[in-house]
Amino acid sequence: DYAVIEWHEIPEVDEWGYNTFEAVLYPDGNIVLNFKEIVRYSDETVGIQASDGRSLQYVFDGEPFEVQSQSCVEFYRVEHEVATVEVIEPEGHLIPWRPVPVRARVLNYGRSTESFGMRAEAIDTASGLVAWASTILVEDLAPGEERTVEFGSFTPGRDSVYIIRAYHTLQEDFNPSNDTAYSHANSIMSLGDVVFGPMVLDSLIGSDMTPYGLIFDGTLFYLAASGDTNMLFVFDTSGAMMFHLPQGNTGFGWRDMAWQAIDTGMVNGVLDTLFVSTDSVIYKLGVDVLMVGIDTLGFIDGPLSFHRALAYSVWTMHLYAADLNSPIYEFDKDGLPVRVMPNPHPVEAATWDPGFDLGDSAQPFLWFSTGESNILGSNITVRQFDELNGTYTDIVIYGNPVFSSNETSAGIDFVKDFRGFSVLFVVVRGNPDYLIGYFVRYADQTRDVYPSIEENRSVHMEYPTLSLLNPTLKGGQPLTLRFTSPYPQPVKFKIYDISGRCVREGVLKVKDGTGIYQIGSEGLKSGLHFVSVESYSKIFVHKFLVIP
Position 451 in a domain: no
Which backbone phi and psi does 467 adopt, to 5 degrees? -135, 145
Q: Give the least confident one: 71-75, 283-287, 335-339, 454-458.
A: 454-458
Q: Show which of 142, 159, 186 is a domain's final residue.
A: 186
The answer to whether 202 and 208 have CB atoms below 8 angstroms apart is no
Among 127, 214, 191, smallest CA distance to 163 is for 127
User: Which CATH number is 148's domain given?
Assistant: 2.60.40.10
Same domain, 262 and 175: no
- 448 lies in some domain: no
Same domain, 278 and 336: yes
DSSP string over 3-67:
EEEEEEEEEPTT-S-EEEEEEEE-TTS-EEEEEEE-S--SS--EEEE-TTS-EEEEEBTTBSS--
477-495 residue pLDDT tens: 889 888 877 667 778 888 8
Q: What is the pLDDT of residue 458?
A: 34
Residues 88 and 174 in one domain: yes
Task: Tell whether 475 is covered by a domain.
Answer: yes
Residues 231-262 pLDDT 10s: 999 999 999 998 888 887 656 788 999 987 64
pLDDT at residue 126, rounded to an integer: 79
**Lowest-pLDDT choice from 225-234, 469-478, 502-511:** 469-478
Average pLDDT over residues 17-36: 87
Residue that is last in its domain, among 40, 60, 75:
75
Round the average pLDDT of the chain to a whole number and report it: 83
311, 348 in Cβ contact below 8 A? Answer: no
Q: Picking from 289-293, 349-353, 406-410, 465-469, which range would have the lowest pLDDT averaged per residue?
A: 289-293
Q: Is the pLDDT of residue 536 over 60?
A: no
- State the pLDDT confidence band at 419, using cuts at 50, 70 and 90: confident
Q: What is the pLDDT of residue 266?
A: 39
Is residue 229 scored above 70 in pLDDT? yes
Q: What is the CATH number of the domain that holds 524?
A: 2.60.40.1930
Say what percent of the chain tops pLDDT 70.
Answer: 88
Task: Tell whether 389 and 282 lie within a shared domain.
Answer: yes
Domain count along the chain: 4
CA 102/CA 82 separation, integer angstroms: 19
Residue 499 has pLDDT above 80, yes or no: no
Mean pLDDT lowest among 65-69, 81-85, 459-463: 459-463
pLDDT of residue 448: 52
What pLDDT is recorded for position 298?
Answer: 79
| Alpha-carbon span 239 to 547, nearest angstrom | 32
How far apart are alpha carbons 253 and 282 in whole angstroms? 11
Q: List the one residue out of 334, 376, 397 whose CA is nearest residue 481.
A: 376
Task: Write down the pLDDT at residue 135.
Answer: 96
Rounded to an integer, what distance in angstroms lies between the CA atom of residue 253 and that of residue 237?
Answer: 24
Cis omega (within 30 of 0) for bond into 471: no
Summarize the confidence of residues 369-397 as an average pLDDT: 90
In a domain, 452, yes or no: no
User: 199 and 179 share a domain?
Assistant: no
- Specify the pLDDT at position 271: 52
120 confidence band (pLDDT: 50, 70, 90): very high
Q: Look at residues 471, 349, 347 and name the one whose alpha carbon lies nearest to residue 402.
A: 471
**243 and 363 housed in the same domain:** yes
Q: 240: closest CA among 255, 221, 227?
A: 221
Residue 235's SS3 state is strand
Model pLDDT, residue 461: 39
Confidence band (pLDDT; 50, 70, 90) for 279? confident
Q: How confident is the model at residue 342 (pLDDT cuts 50, 70, 90)?
A: very high
Q: At 12, is the pLDDT very low, low, confident or very high (cuts 50, 70, 90)?
A: confident
- Print the domain residue range for 437: 194-442
| Per-residue pLDDT, 317 | 87
Mean pLDDT of 16-33: 86
Interior/surface letters 54-64, b for 16+ CB within 10 angstroms, e for the rest: eeeebbeeeee
pLDDT score of 527: 80
**Residues 86 and 70 reside in one and the same domain:** no
Give the three-state DSSP class for 324. Answer: strand
CATH number where 262 lies? 2.120.10.30
Residues 374 and 301 in one domain: yes
pLDDT at residue 401 tops 50: yes
Whether residues 282 and 372 fall in one domain: yes
pLDDT of the residue at 391:
94
Asked if residue 447 belongs to a domain, the reply is no
Q: Is the pLDDT of residue 422 over 50?
A: yes
pLDDT at position 73 over 60: yes
Length of the chain counted residue by residue: 548
Residue 44 lies in a domain: yes
Residues 314 and 428 in one domain: yes
Name which of 70-79, 134-143, 280-289, 385-394 the model is least confident about: 280-289
Partner residues linked to 22 by β-bridges: 6, 34
Q: Are residues 375 and 265 in the same domain?
A: yes
Same domain? 381 vs 348: yes
Residue 453 — pLDDT band, cuts 50, 70, 90? Answer: very low
Domain final residue pick, 75, 100, 134: 75
Q: Is residue 258 part of a domain?
A: yes
Q: Which amino acid would we find at residue 405?
A: S
Q: What is the pTM of this model?
A: 0.66
Query: How many CB atoms lie under 10 A from the CB of residue 213?
Result: 31
pLDDT at 369 over 90: yes
Better pLDDT: 504 or 41 = 504
DSSP letter string, 266-314: -SS-EEEEEEEE-SSEEEEEEEETTTTEEEEEEEEE-SSSS--EEEEET
* % of the chain beyond a pLDDT of 90: 34
- Look at residue 41 in the predicted model and tell me its pLDDT: 59
Any domain includes 455: no
